[in-house]
Amino acid sequence: MAYVLFDPSTRDHFAPLSTTKAVADFRMGILSVKERWELLLKEEVFVHTVGYLQALYTTPSAANHTWIDATVLPNELLIEQITQLKLGASFSDAIGLIAGKSDIAFDRFNVLTTQSYFNNSIKVADVARVEFPWELMQLNEMMIREDFKLVTKGRKSQPISPTVQLVQQADIFIEEGAKLEFCTLNSTTGPIYIGKQAEIMEGTTVRGPFSMGFNSVLKMNSRIYGATSLGPYCMGGGEIKNSIMMGYSNKAHDGYMGDSVIGEWCNFGAGSSNSNLKNSAGSIDVWSMGLGKKVAVGQKCGVIMGDYSRLSINSSVNTGSVIGVSCNVFGAGLLPKLIQHFSWGVDGKKYNLESAINDINNWKYMKGKKLSDAEIQVLNHIFQSNL
């Protein structure tokens, strides 16, 4: 038996983030969706997604599996209900299946016919789900607070150098191997978590809630506001507020990133900034790649950036912008609010696929990584399909 996080039929609502990965790989708070479920269930969790992405994930052996919608936000009651499921039983809300246990074969599971796999389905009150990419940053404060309790429960923080200025030390947790000197950590506004082998350089000021993943770096004199999450191998600098960098991405220099969600292997060029508030202070409409229309998202939203995309130096990103997968973005003045996958500049020219793959590998090489054959096949599929 295995627990399986499945992408629901609405997974495309998360594009461009979902274009290259399953929802289970999204990072919000301290943890990814998959990491959070594994900690709560105390077992390995598998991933079921669309066909062109499935090769990125390990397939469980044949058995009875418990299927869980990856967009659902877990809580103690849900964990208890899921672990007690009997074969053929499920529970759902007004939106659809939340979780169920079935003997359906892994490769035959279809998100469009989920209810047919269960003979005993119970309706429950609506549960919390995420539906769009901007909701990740909107919920990030809550998730950092919840993850902090989960990750640090029963554990003791590493000692902190006396050169570090601390405000409310009880809500600051430092993992083994982290390096901090002559910086300021203020957790009166929310907890601060510093991951293994992460580094905060001199002069940096951090206000919680804040999370920093394995081997990530904040450069000298950075100004970080909550609620901000840096995934593993990220580099932060300048001014960052209420943003998520999922992993392996850089915003290393001066400039502003606010109310944004940045995928993996992305780069903000030196001096680049995004707007997160209209001059009118009115509601922001963001183009949904999945729905093919604009959606009102509230008063603040910066940029949603797909994996492998990069901004040239001194880029000016408009309020509520969406940048697709593997884009090399450059242009004068305010950039367009929608930039499609594999864009070269902003004038409709397309990135050559071979060059794009070579350039991604150049960036990966700097962090000791390389594109896998499965990742190259995914990029080829996106390029050929014009997703």
- Domains defined for the chain, CATH in brackets: 2-123 (no CATH), 134-385 (2.160.10.10)
- In one letter, which amino acid is 42? K
**What gap in Å lies between CA 33 and CA 237, rounded to an integer?**
26
Regarding beta strands 338-339 and 316-317, do their DSSP bridges make them parallel or antiparallel, or are they unpaired?
unpaired
Q: Closest Cα partner for 6 from 153, 85, 112?
A: 112
Alpha-carbon 208 to chain mean position: 18
Question: pLDDT value at position 114?
Answer: 86
- Model-level pTM? 0.95
Question: pLDDT value at position 121?
Answer: 87
Question: pLDDT value at position 197?
Answer: 98
Question: pLDDT value at position 115?
Answer: 81
| pLDDT tens per residue across all 387 residues of the chain | 899 999 999 999 999 999 999 999 999 999 999 999 999 999 999 999 999 999 999 999 888 999 999 999 999 889 999 999 999 999 999 999 999 999 999 999 999 888 889 988 889 989 999 999 999 999 999 999 999 999 999 999 999 999 999 999 999 999 999 999 999 999 999 999 999 999 999 999 999 999 999 999 999 999 999 999 999 999 999 999 999 999 999 999 999 999 999 999 999 999 999 999 999 999 999 999 999 999 999 999 999 999 999 999 999 999 999 999 999 999 999 999 999 999 999 999 999 999 999 999 999 999 999 999 999 999 999 999 977
**What gap in Å lies between CA 357 and CA 377, rounded to an integer?**
11
Q: How distant, in Å, are the alpha carbons of 52, 150, 249 from that of 213?
A: 28, 15, 12
**What gap in Å lies between CA 347 and CA 337, rounded to an integer?**
13
Question: pLDDT value at position 89?
Answer: 95
Q: Quick one: DSSP state of residue 381?
A: H
Residue position matching structure tokens 């902090």? 148
Continuous segment of H or E residues that includes residue 79: helix 76-83
Question: pLDDT value at position 63?
Answer: 83
For the record, the structure tokens of 39 come out as 């900690």
**What gap in Å lies between CA 110 and CA 88, rounded to an integer?**
16
